[in-house]
A and B are shown apart, each in its own frame.
Chain A
Amino acid sequence: MTPALNIHRLSVTYRRDRQEVEALSGVDLDVGAGEKLAIIGESGSGKSTLALAIAGLLPASAKIAGRIEWPSLGRPPVNGRDIGFVFQDPSASLDPVMAVGEQIAEVARAHRGMNWRQAYALAEELLARVKLPEPAALRKAYPHQLSGGQKQRVAIAAAIAGRPGLLIADEATSALDTIVQRDIVALIRQLVDEDGTSLLFITHDIALASEIANRIAVFRNGQLVEAGATEALVASPQQAYTRLLLQAHLGLEETVR
């Protein structure tokens, strides 16, 4: 199967206080078509920098070395059409003074060549698909009228409105309570499975990663520590740092301490 993207020796350096800080160094990683890959790491691991680099959203001052290739695309990716992005804080990603239906429709107009009527019809369809109640009425609602979980569903609808081949979710459920988190994770999994979309699921929570991903890549201090199939990585981690993350996880399982 052709991978959705290949990352070769990717390094990203930021300049901060006249000092160079290497946020990613020499990362090699592939994302398969239709694969659900979780990127896990603690603060400063470079996991969000990786997402921004893939989406071409790094600040202009960042120095980038290495390559990101999209073999199945054969051209540079377009945000919205080829990559959908869901961030942690839906309040920051949604326009507060635009009706939510319009925000979703705008993506479809920009990337799928639809007219407004078609785009609004699609927005309503997508609001139903992300399981929001009364999509016809909700289309006209503004973000402040929705709960945090509902806003994240709208952000997901907007992210998939361009039918991207890759969906990036960067700590997309971290600001939500666990009950809402569970529903949103189930929704993301269902959507990418139905559409055959590749998923890059970025999280600090190794248990959450294991629930959604086929494969997990562990990052630390800008480097890829190890990557492997979820069950294998959880059951027999190869690296000490992965073992440390697994040991530090506090679950509901009976554990020997």
Chain B
Amino acid sequence: MSAPLLEVRGLGKRFSRNGRPVAALNGVSLNVAHCETLALVGPSGSGKSTLGHAILRLIEPDSGGISFEGQDLLALSGGRLRAARARLQMVFQDPQAAFNPRATVAGVIDDPLRIHGIGSRGERPGLIRKLLERVGLSPDLGERAVHEISGGQRQRVAIARAIATRPSLVVLDEAVSALDVSVRGDILTLLADLQREENIAYLFISHDLGVVRAVAHRVAIMDAGRVVEMGEARQVIADPQSATGKALVAAVPRLRCGISTENA
């Protein structure tokens, strides 16, 4: 069996809130395999986004280790960190907030190509057009400003930017949560296609167990900075063992049809 793509061991992070230390991460360990989707779910404040940020090295953990593609991620700096970052990308909930509002679509996708030295100045416009097509957008959209396009289109642009550097892992932090349901299905299909064709693993941070059930291979349930349950996604959601898992599953709104289940 090959080594996992991402290995998180005993990760700890404390924040200070009103002068009191709060353990945002309290000894978190998990693995993500190549081409796997691992969902992270939990109530707000459970530490799921903090864990995502630590893996992206947007915050530094206090303790524990992260190994990514066999390297000690926390020890990397300079050019080697930059090289690792090309392989480790992210898509957030609100692409409007993630982009410079005055940037064009092409400019947003050009940034990672330029920063990571992918393609020459003359080659990059062609690469950008290919990436736009890859995520189901018209290449002509490149000239538009990011604030002029729809929310669904913007999230496709965010995905194009994330895959531009050929990552092996993309952290998706509530990446489909703000989308209309009629758009969400297409984005989830796109993510699944990209995973299969480009061999990308996802760390899928979400509050929505319905979406997790549809897209994730495995799920890790977090609460108070710890992983309290982990397993095959459908199995965990069908029969959660932890108190947090049970509460999360019970809280999912159910479509009420036929016989009334009011007050059930």
Identify the A interface with B (CB < 8 A): 42-43, 148, 176-182, 185, 204-208, 210-211, 230-231, 234-235, 244-246, 248-253
Secondary structure at chain B's binding surface: helix, strand, loop or mixed? Answer: helix
Please tell me if the beta carbons of B182 and A245 are within 8 angstroms of each other in the complex.
Answer: yes
Identify the B interface with A (CB < 8 A): 43-44, 151, 180-182, 184-185, 207-211, 213-214, 237-238, 247-258, 260
CA distance A193 to B249 in the complex (A): 26
Residues of B within 8 A of A208 (CB): 253
Please tell me if the beta carbons of A249 and B181 are within 8 angstroms of each other in the complex.
Answer: yes
CA distance A66 to B207 in the complex (A): 40
Please tell me if the beta carbons of B257 and A178 are within 8 angstroms of each other in the complex.
Answer: no
CA distance A207 to B181 in the complex (A): 12
Residues of B within 8 A of A211 (CB): 253-254, 256
Name the distance in Å between B254's Cβ and chain A's nearest Cβ.
6
CA distance A180 to B250 in the complex (A): 11
Residues of A within 8 A of B253 (CB): 178, 181-182, 185, 205, 207-208, 210-211, 251
Point out which of A42, A182, A211, A250 has the most chain B C-beta atoms below 10 A from its C-beta.
A250
Residues of A within 8 A of B208 (CB): 178, 250
Number of A-B contacts defined by CB within 8 Å: 91
Please tell me if the beta carbons of B247 and A179 are within 8 angstroms of each other in the complex.
Answer: yes
CA distance A9 to B73 in the complex (A): 61
Residues of B within 8 A of A230 (CB): 256
Please tell me if the beta carbons of B210 and A250 are within 8 angstroms of each other in the complex.
Answer: yes
Known: A179-B251, A251-B252. A234 touches B180 (CB 8 A): no
Residues of A within 8 A of B182 (CB): 42, 244-245, 248
Known: A42-B181, A43-B151, A248-B185. A177 touches B207 (CB 8 A): yes
Residues of B within 8 A of A148 (CB): 44
Please tell me if the beta carbons of B258 and A235 are within 8 angstroms of each other in the complex.
Answer: yes
| Neighbour of B254 across the interface among A177, A179, A251, CB < 8 A | A251
| Neighbour of B180 across the interface among A179, A204, A231, A253, CB < 8 A | A204
CA distance A204 to B176 in the complex (A): 14
Name the distance in Å between A171's Cβ and chain B's nearest Cβ.
12
Please tell me if the beta carbons of A251 and B210 are within 8 angstroms of each other in the complex.
Answer: yes
Name the distance in Å between A26's Cβ and chain B's nearest Cβ.
23
Name the distance in Å between B48's Cβ and chain A's nearest Cβ.
10
Residues of A within 8 A of B185 (CB): 248
| Neighbour of B255 across the interface among A43, A185, A210, A244, CB < 8 A | A210
- Known contacts A178-B253, A181-B253, A210-B256; 12 additional CB pairs below 8 A are A42-B182, A43-B180, A178-B251, A179-B247, A206-B181, A208-B253, A248-B181, A248-B182, A251-B210, A251-B254, A252-B210, A252-B238
Please tell me if the beta carbons of A182 and B44 are within 8 angstroms of each other in the complex.
Answer: no
Known: A210-B253, A230-B256. A252 touches B213 (CB 8 A): yes
Name the CB-closest residue of B to A178.
B251
